[in-house]
Structure 1
Amino acid sequence: MNKSTVKRIIIGKPLKTSALGEQKLNKLKALAILSSDALSSVAYGTEQILLVLSAVGFLAYWYSIPIAIGVLILLTALMLSYRQIIYAYPQGGGAYVVSKNNLGENAGLIAGGSLLVDYILTVAVSVSAGTDAITSAFPSLYHYNVIIAILMVILITILNLRGVTESASILAYPVYLFVFTLLILIGVGIWKVVNGEVPTELHTPIGTTVPGLSVFLLLKAFSSGCSALTGVEAISNAVPNFKEPSAKNAVKTLTMMGLFLAVLFSGITFLAFWFGIAPSGEETVISQIATEVFGKNAMYYFIQVTTAIILILAANTGYAAFPLLAVNLASDKYMPRIFTVRGDRLSYSNGIVILGISSILLIIFFDGHTEKLIPLYAVGVFIPFTLSQTGMSRKWMKEKPEGWKGKLAINLIGAFITFTVLVILFTTKFFQVWPVLFFLPIVVFGFHKINKHYQNVAEQLRVAKPRSAIKMEGNIVILPVAGVTKVVENSLAYAETVGDVVVAVYVAFDRESERRMEEKWEEFRPDIRLVTIHSQYRSLIRPLARFIDTIEEKAAEQKRSVTVIIPQFITKKSWHNFLHNQSSLLIKAHLLYKRNIIVTTVPYHLRK
């Protein structure tokens, strides 16, 4: 069994570029694949509030209700804001695009870098949390938690490599099952409360005076409860993945996610308060509520299983959003171009693979105990939250469209609240979140270095005037080209000196790029024949090899030789090679085994 067969079995049959529209998500599938992170936070959002309040004691637990209301107000502000972001920036990118366009390059890169790191943390933390739930149910597996977590990451990575639609079809069922079971839990719990089956003595009455409770502690509890809002930005990053009209469908999905999150979070918080649930290191808040409502029966275990599954599948939000954000950054030349390439199944496979590998490394480094990363996880969300709200505020003040004052008010309120949460996180958990002050500048510096390299390359490859050359008889020269650059100009000059017939070949992955290339070539060198080949499966080597074979057969009949000239620019520094597609190396490796083909590389050395 060769590599191609194994790859087809695991990833699936390659899809044509024309099938891209079929890979777009409808609202139900998008809700499942993009909201799993946000919905899973219901499993620990209330618990994070109670953990902080437990420092004062049982009397303080009633404050979970007004704190939850504050979280819901912030959720509303974020929903309204991201609704505006989706309509204003339907190309996706979310906080990165908003911040870059309205607050400047560095603000955009800080937002983009924060989100990229946050999505890696999302995968590592979610999978580790889900694995802990599994090993809690089966203690004999505890010593294998790292291996189990790694296998889970590999499984989710493969599902996403198979395509957005296929992964969404598989992962939608457990997400909706989790929502359904929690709605039953909340519904039955409230029914018991209304019928008086739950003694009022279990909880402290609202308004009870609590000695020793400070405003600082309440703010800390509020910031901890805001962990329930992680993942709400994912939809704005992934708008291009929606079926048309993409922006309208994304907004409807965002609204549905907000409603589900609000109902589940408020329902769990209310029941935790009414049943007098106290946080415990041995049992989760949801587990305690389920025990009170149903007892330790089949329904209880069903809730536990679906909760464990949703915690693992929360990682899929990272897989849905990370590759698209990487595409936006790579399109702006802040990340390597390999992130803009679609794989066999039309997903941005390079981004998916890098995300999977990075998450596995984190899991291994922290030995599967990634709970220490949760504060970083929260900071990574609220930095872009604050920047995007501020950016949208500036946009409305600058452009002043119809109804801009209402929009401005929403974003200003959101910016104030998210900035407050960010300050509280840094103030109360500095020794846990300080690494963000170290690695975020490094990430932004890396973005700038990559961008500078691409600028230097563009400057050196820009074509001035085409040069003429002397032809030689007796040779057919094939020149694969990727665009109109100085590299091509340099190689074309050499091709004309060694061949009496020169044919340039361009492999296009879509009709639009094919049309643009033909127009540029007509302006650049209309005297040299350009052959364009449309590759439906985005393969460069196969169609090019078929064309060369056809020319070689005809040349053999005419007793003429064939030379393939491969243009290649040589970067000044070796690490720059990682930032470019190594197409020339692939072509050379393939043609080395052709007996009747002369392969020549024409290097073009970059100075910067």
Structure 2
Amino acid sequence: MPGSRPRGGVSSPLVANETRSLPDTPQLAKRILIGDPLTNEHLEGQLLPKRMALPIFASDALSSVAYAPQELVMILLIGGLTFLSFTPIVAVCVIVLLIVVVLSYRQLIKAYPSGGGDYEVASKNLGEIPGVVVAAALLVDYVLTVAVSVASGVDNIISAVPALDPFRVWLAVGFVVLIIVVNLRGVREASLVFAIPTYVFIASVGFMIVTGLVRTFLGDAPVASSAEFAVHAEDLSQAAVILLVLRAFSSGCSALTGVEAVSNGVPAFRAPKVRNAQSTLVLMGSIAIGLFAGLTALALITGVHYAENPCDLIGFDCTNPQPSLMAQVASATFGGGSILFFIVQAATACVLLLAANTAFNGFPLLGSVLARDGYAPKALNTRGDRLVFSNGMIALGIVAMIVLVVFQAKLTTLIQLYIIGVFVSFSLGQLGMVRHWRRILRTPAEGKTGASDLRSARVGLIINSVGATLTILVLLIVTITKFTHGAYLVFLAIPVLAFLMMGVKRYYRDVEHEIAIDDTTHFGATGDLALVLVNRLQKPVVKAVEYAVAAKHGKTLAVHVGVAADDAAELQQEWADHLMPIPLVIIESPYRSFAQPVAQFITQYREKHGSSVVTVYLPQYIVGHWWETFLHNRRARRMANQLMLVHGVSITLVPWLLDSSELIYGRRSRPLPGQERAGRPVVVNGRRAHRPAGPPQN
């Protein structure tokens, strides 16, 4: 109808002023929670300076110092109080390993700044399977990072307010939901929320360490509340003693978690990205080492006794929750009821809860890379209204909440599953870097690799070789000492997830092969057409175009909603190269919506050329398995539902039947090797058959 207008605002070349309708109730709630949508032009403004990147990407590594010394002391105490004498040696080993890993990741950031991290390094240097294993290990580790961080934060809250212990699981789930909502508002807003607690934690714990050490130097050493408790020690053989010390070392290595997040988040830094990411990594490592060493020293000075089973502490009422190491040290240093004690506890609880935020940045970025490479559903590579990969954030939050409920948010149980995944990725990533440097040194590009580059490659080879040796050794130690304590679950989860990712890759590869454009495939269709919506030039689009041409409408156009300028330019070139018979129109969409710009285009076209019936052709996949629906974004169906609300518009869904829709013999109808060479491909009703080269056989 002339003058009719679609519901909702759009952005296209035909529209001078953008119109926005009032949101309905669900949309209003969404806007209140996560804010107004941002255009693509705001992406640069979402990039982080170093002072904001530190709390975003380093909160996990910094917060791990709150529980790593506690886990170290707890494991050693199984053997009795005398085993605490091993604490300095174990702590020094952890610090040396942390230094090596930080230096190794500086090299990785420089060589692979695209954000793929260990996954990209392993894929390019070790092959597809090691890359997928690294990706699966990192995804599992990100889930456990959220679970462990939130459980540890709740643990510290309960240490300050024991009456909250019955609500442990509910508190943990509630905090995960809160972190999801904050992150959905965008990286920059999340960094503003998380920056203050992180810096307060660094300052308050640093002040506590200095105060405790000064008091000790002046002869007034603080004493922990648990220092007077003796311990029921186990009778250990010599082999058991060695295993106990190694287990304590593996638990202390939880201080290394989160180091890899910076290498995965390089694209989120402001330019110069590599230099800023390296500086943030070094600063994070330095602060983590200082806090870890200081807290471990104060734990020994104050005589903290933290047992895996609180009832093993002789004299302690184990019906009450056991105060965390951080709470005991803060109480001994400042006094249990002092303001500084509650500041330290509040800052520790906040930073532990916010440490989960590292995973909420790393998981979606890695998920987008995997989706781009075809190993994960494409929905993970879609930016939401606030220019973040919101689908990945929501998926991570749901899985983490399930883990917290299953394990009742108990830190001592969850910690046994932790760090396996991160050391799998550490080890394979470092091996990949060793091969990367060796390849550069073995085959330097002529005229491109100077003396300084070769010298840098030699230094990198040495650093990453040491890093690979140490991380593999630690992985073996962690595996041996934690396997029977629950780590076997992680070793089951990683291969299962890797297998699923390989299956997704094969599926997408088959679909791409099935719908790839060629100049010999034609569709003998007749019908009617006004607009053909085009995303990429593939066989389903060609089928829709030929149906449209056969319809012989007065005007036939192909329409592409341009979300990314590069994709639009590539499509225009392909459209010209393949001599497509109808003109292509590009409609800009700064808010990444699809139906509204098309609706506004139709309205403006009808206002200019008079009232006319508009038929919109939408290619749509038809699948045979229920699980395939999760691997396609079903945009055609959503657009059809929205465009049918525009007056004068009818929708024609042009089905493209994927091979799986036949469900014949339980497999896809792929030609045997040599069949394509023997005969010319023939397409019938959107399916490919193969015509034999010779005469028909009886």
Q: Which residue of 1 aligns with 2:448?
A: none
SS in 2 for 1:603: strand
- Give the C-alpha shift of residue 549 in structure 1: 2.4
Structure 1 residues 151 and 277: alpha-carbon distance in aligned structure 2, compared to 1, 3 A threshold: closer
Q: Which residue of 1 aligns with 2:597?
A: 543
Q: Which amino acid aligns with 1:422?
A: L
1:331 aligns with 2:358: no
Match of 1:287 among 327, 336, 347: 327
Match of 2:245 among 213, 218, 237: 218
- Give the C-alpha shift of residue 167 in structure 1: 0.5
- Give the C-alpha shift of residue 453 in structure 1: 0.8
Matches of residues 258-277 of structure 1 in structure 2 within 5 Å?
258-277=285-304
Structure 1 residues 466 and 549: alpha-carbon distance in aligned structure 2, compared to 1, 3 A threshold: farther
Match of 1:395 among 416, 436, 454: 436
SS in 1 for 2:518: coil
- Give the C-alpha shift of residue 604 in structure 1: 1.1
- Give the C-alpha shift of residue 510 in structure 1: 2.4
Conserved in 2, the CA contact under 8 Å of 1:24 and 1:242? yes
Distance in 1, Cα, partners of 2:523 & 2:247: 73
Q: Which residue of 1 aligns with 2:652?
A: 600
Structure 1 residues 555 and 575: alpha-carbon distance in aligned structure 2, compared to 1, 3 A threshold: farther
Conserved in 1, the CA contact under 8 Å of 2:159 and 2:324? no
Q: Which residue of 1 aligns with 2:406?
A: 365
Structure 1 residues 449 and 242: alpha-carbon distance in aligned structure 2, compared to 1, 3 A threshold: same
Q: Which residue of 2 aligns with 1:207?
A: none
Structure 1 residues 52 and 489: alpha-carbon distance in aligned structure 2, compared to 1, 3 A threshold: same
Structure 1 residues 458 and 138: alpha-carbon distance in aligned structure 2, compared to 1, 3 A threshold: same
1:479 aligns with 2:532: yes
Structure 1 residues 379 and 31: alpha-carbon distance in aligned structure 2, compared to 1, 3 A threshold: same
Matches of residues 370-449 of structure 1 in structure 2 within 5 Å?
371-400=412-441, 402-403=454-455, 404-431=457-484, 432-449=486-503
Choose 546-555 or 266-275, whichever is displaced more: 546-555
Conserved in 2, the CA contact under 8 Å of 1:470 and 1:496? no
Q: Which residue of 1 aligns with 2:57?
A: 34
Distance in 2, Cα, partners of 1:198 & 1:359: 41
1:238 aligns with 2:265: yes
Paired positions, count: 598
1:588 aligns with 2:640: yes
Q: For each residue in 1:537-565, what CA deviation from the matched residue of structure 2 results, as whole angstroms up to 9, or x when unmatched? A: 111111011112233445654xx432111
Structure 1 residues 53 and 364: alpha-carbon distance in aligned structure 2, compared to 1, 3 A threshold: closer
Distance in 1, Cα, partners of 2:77 & 2:408: 29
Structure 1 residues 63 and 572: alpha-carbon distance in aligned structure 2, compared to 1, 3 A threshold: same
1:528 aligns with 2:582: yes
Distance in 2, Cα, partners of 1:374 & 1:233: 18
Higher helix share: 1
Q: Which residue of 2 aligns with 1:190?
A: 213
Structure 1 residues 447 and 485: alpha-carbon distance in aligned structure 2, compared to 1, 3 A threshold: same
SS in 2 for 1:55: helix
1:354 aligns with 2:377: no
Q: Which residue of 2 aligns with 1:306?
A: 347
TM-score (norm. length: structure 2)? 0.82
Match of 1:77 among 100, 122, 139: 100
Conserved in 1, the CA contact under 8 Å of 2:529 and 2:548? no
TM-score (norm. length: structure 1)? 0.94
Distance in 2, Cα, partners of 1:13 & 1:502: 36
Distance in 2, Cα, partners of 1:13 & 1:155: 18
Distance in 2, Cα, partners of 1:397 & 1:471: 57
- Give the C-alpha shift of residue 370 in structure 1: 5.1
- Give the C-alpha shift of residue 95 in structure 1: 1.0
Report the structure number with the largest CA radius of gyration: 2
Q: For each residue in 1:204-232, what CA deviation from the matched residue of structure 2 results, as whole angstroms up to 9, or x when unmatched? A: xxxxxx99764333222211111111111
- Give the C-alpha shift of residue 526 in structure 1: 4.8
Q: Which residue of 2 aligns with 1:576?
A: 628
- Give the C-alpha shift of residue 470 in structure 1: 9.0
Q: Which amino acid aligns with 1:449?
A: G
Structure 1 residues 85 and 223: alpha-carbon distance in aligned structure 2, compared to 1, 3 A threshold: same
Distance in 2, Cα, partners of 1:469 & 1:34: 52
Q: Which amino acid aligns with 1:491?
A: A
- Give the C-alpha shift of residue 457 in structure 1: 0.8
Structure 1 residues 50 and 86: alpha-carbon distance in aligned structure 2, compared to 1, 3 A threshold: same
SS in 1 for 2:419: helix
Q: Which residue of 2 aligns with 1:562?
A: 614
SS in 2 for 1:192: helix
Q: Which residue of 1 aligns with 2:152?
A: 129
Q: CA RMSD in A?
A: 2.2
1:92 aligns with 2:115: yes
Structure 1 residues 442 and 515: alpha-carbon distance in aligned structure 2, compared to 1, 3 A threshold: same
- Give the C-alpha shift of residue 62 in structure 1: 2.6
SS in 2 for 1:306: helix
1:498 aligns with 2:551: yes
- Give the C-alpha shift of residue 132 in structure 1: 2.8
1:60 aligns with 2:83: yes
Conserved in 1, the CA contact under 8 Å of 2:115 and 2:266? yes
1:147 aligns with 2:187: no
Q: For each residue in 1:414-464, what CA deviation from the matched residue of structure 2 results, as whole angstroms up to 9, or x when unmatched? A: 122211221122212222111123221111111111111111111111111
Q: Which amino acid aligns with 2:203?
A: F
Distance in 2, Cα, partners of 1:386 & 1:81: 11
Structure 1 residues 450 and 468: alpha-carbon distance in aligned structure 2, compared to 1, 3 A threshold: closer
Q: For each residue in 1:42-98, what CA deviation from the matched residue of structure 2 results, as whole angstroms up to 9, or x when unmatched? A: 111112221222133223323211211111111111001110111111101211111
Conserved in 2, the CA contact under 8 Å of 1:555 and 1:561? no
Q: For each residue in 1:267-300, what CA deviation from the matched residue of structure 2 results, as whole angstroms up to 9, or x when unmatched? A: 1112222333322442222222222222222212
1:341 aligns with 2:386: no
Q: Which amino acid aligns with 2:454?
A: E
- Give the C-alpha shift of residue 468 in structure 1: 7.5
Distance in 2, Cα, partners of 1:184 & 1:259: 16
Q: Which amino acid aligns with 1:49?
A: L
Gaps of 5+ in 2: 1-23, 229-234, 311-321, 442-452, 660-667, 669-698
Structure 1 residues 337 and 421: alpha-carbon distance in aligned structure 2, compared to 1, 3 A threshold: same
- Give the C-alpha shift of residue 595 in structure 1: 4.5
Conserved in 2, the CA contact under 8 Å of 1:149 and 1:368? yes
Conserved in 2, the CA contact under 8 Å of 1:183 and 1:264? yes
Distance in 2, Cα, partners of 1:279 & 1:367: 20
Q: For each residue in 1:400-419, what CA deviation from the matched residue of structure 2 results, as whole angstroms up to 9, or x when unmatched? A: 25123332222122122211
- Give the C-alpha shift of residue 527 in structure 1: 3.6
Distance in 2, Cα, partners of 1:29 & 1:502: 51
Gaps of 5+ in 1: 204-209
Q: For each residue in 1:88-140, what CA deviation from the matched residue of structure 2 results, as whole angstroms up to 9, or x when unmatched? A: 11101211111111111111111111111111111122112222322343333
- Give the C-alpha shift of residue 233 in structure 1: 0.8
Conserved in 1, the CA contact under 8 Å of 2:69 and 2:296? yes
Distance in 1, Cα, partners of 2:86 & 2:143: 33
Q: Which residue of 2 aligns with 1:459?
A: 513
Distance in 1, Cα, partners of 2:284 & 2:34: 30
- Give the C-alpha shift of residue 573 in structure 1: 2.2
- Give the C-alpha shift of residue 570 in structure 1: 1.5
Structure 1 residues 271 and 470: alpha-carbon distance in aligned structure 2, compared to 1, 3 A threshold: closer
Distance in 1, Cα, partners of 2:525 & 2:118: 55
Q: Which amino acid aligns with 1:324?
A: L
Distance in 2, Cα, partners of 1:15 & 1:34: 23
- Give the C-alpha shift of residue 466 in structure 1: 6.5
Choose 295-304 or 482-491, whichever is displaced more: 295-304
Structure 1 residues 123 and 468: alpha-carbon distance in aligned structure 2, compared to 1, 3 A threshold: closer
SS in 1 for 2:113: coil
SS in 1 for 2:530: strand
Match of 1:320 among 351, 361, 368: 361
Structure 1 residues 517 and 85: alpha-carbon distance in aligned structure 2, compared to 1, 3 A threshold: same
